[in-house]
């Protein structure tokens, strides 16, 4: 199936997820792509093998309409390629690449595009693993990160941080919006604009967005100038809590550079994971919309509950506030991650967490089942307590990933857990 029909009408990603990039005639008429569980692919001739390698290692440019053939599953594999075409179509970017995990996608992206001496300015909080990478691993390669608070002021704070560092130092503006776990929203367009200003007359400064919480269904950062969009595909894109994977999408030239590093670092996903992701993409929109609907209903219950001090959910911001403006500008839905502070301390949060009967006490998010966790002591355990508090994450915060259970059962569960 092609991306457009004969008249040039571009199909929607929901439709593309069912057929784009796959020709049944090449697989015995099988309507679904088979799993290509092979490590290596047979060349038709030595000349063909030589040409594929020239393209794979960037020794020569593709001729018009020339595609690199299949070589070896660390370089390419049909299950990964079909998925990559469909996820890029969803993000409305030129190219996608799939990885063994969200962290593999993030680490490979940064290592392929930055060099010693470069700085990242990142919003905070970010996912705990990303924080660990910024704080403990990248500095070993002399790639350092300045963190600024995620929210209304992020573009301004990033500008100040870049000015303090001086010209030519910053190479990447990295944001997580909504942020994990505070759900703080950051204006992607303003951050992209700042990146263009900072890059004027020097190397391009990249805007990179971790779009795991809302994308690609409810947020398309490329529309607001982002260069690269990252995902933990373990979450909504995989959606069934049965795989670990990551994605980056963006321009062909950037994704090609990242894919060269993926090949050499070996951070690609395996064919079966690619196949599972293809299955998952087919229901992505339906799942995310239904999970968001369930979440809105739970929020209504939480905001009026006497044991709840505060609810963090993107659509709940007051009309007239900057967060509400950002939400309206760049999101088409609010997703299904709800964070809330219970009245009391960590002990009270633990009491509530331990009392859930349907929602499972586990990290991760975006699966069909509801999950609850305690960010301060679990997903974000490596971040200093004082920093977390500064970033709006309190000891009494619970993060809930809302699943596809019947809403009446979810409401009952939440009410009985709160007590």
Tokens found for residue 180: 């994990």
Alpha-carbon distance 154 to 338, whole Å? 22
Distance of CA 103 to the CA centre of its chain: 10
Tokens found for residue 289: 């919309």
Stretch that binds ligand PLP, among 30-38, 114-122, 125-133, 155-163 (CB under 6 A): 125-133
User: Does the protein bind ligand PLP through residue 101 (CB under 6 A)?
Assistant: yes
Query: What are φ and ψ of residue 167, in 5° steps?
Result: -65, 145
Closest CA relative to residue 124, chosen from 102, 148, 107, 146: 148
Tokens found for residue 91: 């993000």
User: Does the protein bind ligand PLP through residue 234 (CB under 6 A)?
Assistant: yes
User: Does the protein bind ligand PLP through residue 112 (CB under 6 A)?
Assistant: no
Among 84, 118, 187, 210, binds ligand PLP (CB under 6 A): 210
User: Does the protein bind ligand PLP through residue 76 (CB under 6 A)?
Assistant: no
User: Does the protein bind ligand PLP through residue 127 (CB under 6 A)?
Assistant: yes
Footprint of ligand PLP on residues 138-177 (CB under 6 A)?
Answer: 176
Alpha-carbon distance 211 to 311, whole Å? 21
Alpha-carbon distance 174 to 168, whole Å? 16
Min separation Cβ 232 and ligand PLP, Å: 3
User: Does the protein bind ligand PLP through residue 103 (CB under 6 A)?
Assistant: yes
Among 13, 19, 102, 221, binds ligand PLP (CB under 6 A): 102
Residue 134 gets which letter from DSSP?
A: I
Residues 382 and 411: beta-carbon distance below 8 Å: no
- For ligand PLP, the closer of residues 22 and 99 by Cβ is 99
Residues 224 and 188: beta-carbon distance below 8 Å: yes
9: enclosing H helix or E strand:
none
- For ligand PLP, the closer of residues 129 and 168 by Cβ is 129
User: Does the protein bind ligand PLP through residue 129 (CB under 6 A)?
Assistant: yes
Tokens found for residue 359: 């929602």
User: Does the protein bind ligand PLP through residue 271 (CB under 6 A)?
Assistant: no
Matching residue, tokens 């259970």: 405
CA dihedral 182, 240, 271, 111 (to 10 degrees): 10
- For ligand PLP, the closer of residues 169 and 235 by Cβ is 235
The residue at minimum Cβ distance from ligand PLP is 102
Footprint of ligand PLP on residues 353-392 (CB under 6 A)?
Answer: none
Among 143, 209, 244, 331, binds ligand PLP (CB under 6 A): 244
- For ligand PLP, the closer of residues 102 and 392 by Cβ is 102
User: Does the protein bind ligand PLP through residue 123 (CB under 6 A)?
Assistant: no
Which residues are near ligand PLP by CB under 6 A?
Answer: 101-103, 127, 129-130, 176, 180, 210, 212, 232, 234, 244, 246
């Amino acid at each position: 199936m092609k991306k457009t029909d004969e008249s040039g009408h571009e199909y929607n990603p929901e439709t593309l997820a069912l057929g784009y990039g796959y020709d049944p005639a090449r697989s015995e008429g099988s309507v679904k792509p088979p799993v290509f569980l092979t490590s290596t692919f047979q060349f038709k001739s030595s000349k063909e093998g030589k040409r594929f390698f020239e393209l794979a290692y960037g020794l020569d440019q593709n001729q018009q309409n020339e595609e690199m053939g299949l070589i070896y599953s660390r370089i390419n594999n049909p299950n990964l390629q079909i998925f990559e075409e469909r996820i890029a179509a969803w993000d409305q970017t030129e190219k996608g690449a799939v990885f063994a995990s969200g962290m593999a996608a993030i680490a490979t992206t940064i290592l392929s595009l930055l060099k010693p001496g470069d700085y990242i300015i990142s919003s905070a909080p970010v996912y705990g693993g990303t924080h660990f990478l910024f704080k403990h691993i990248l500095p070993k390669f002399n790639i350092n990160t300045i963190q600024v608070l995620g929210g209304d002021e992020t573009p301004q704070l990033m500008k100040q941080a870049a000015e303090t560092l001086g010209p030519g130092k910053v190479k990447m503006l990295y944001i997580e919006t909504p942020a994990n776990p505070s759900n703080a929203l950051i204006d992607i367009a303003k951050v992209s604009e700042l990146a263009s200003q900072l890059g004027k007359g020097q190397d391009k400064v990249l805007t990179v967005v971790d779009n795991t919480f809302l994308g690609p269904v409810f947020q398309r950062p490329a529309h607001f100038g982002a260069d690269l969009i990252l995902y933990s595909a373990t979450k909504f894109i995989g959606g069934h809590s049965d795989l670990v994977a990551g994605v980056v999408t963006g321009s062909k030239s950037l994704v090609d550079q990242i894919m060269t590093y993926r090949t050499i670092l070996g951070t690609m996903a395996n064919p079966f994971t690619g196949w599972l992701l293809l299955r998952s993409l087919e229901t992505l929109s339906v799942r995310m919309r239904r999970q968001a609907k369930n979440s809105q209903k739970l929020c209504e219950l939480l905001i009026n509950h006497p044991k709840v001090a505060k609810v963090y959910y993107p659509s709940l911001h007051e009309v007239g506030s900057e967060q509400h403006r950002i939400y309206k500008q760049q999101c088409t839905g609010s997703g299904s991650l709800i964070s809330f502070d219970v009245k009391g301390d960590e002990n009270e949060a633990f009491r509530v967490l331990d009392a859930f009967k349907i929602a499972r006490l586990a990290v991760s998010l975006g699966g069909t089942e509801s999950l609850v966790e305690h960010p301060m002591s679990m997903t974000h355990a490596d971040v200093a307590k004082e920093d977390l508090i500064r970033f709006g994450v309190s000891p009494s915060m619970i993060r809930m990933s809302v699943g596809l259970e019947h809403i009446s059962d979810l409401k009952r569960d939440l009410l009985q857990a709160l007590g």
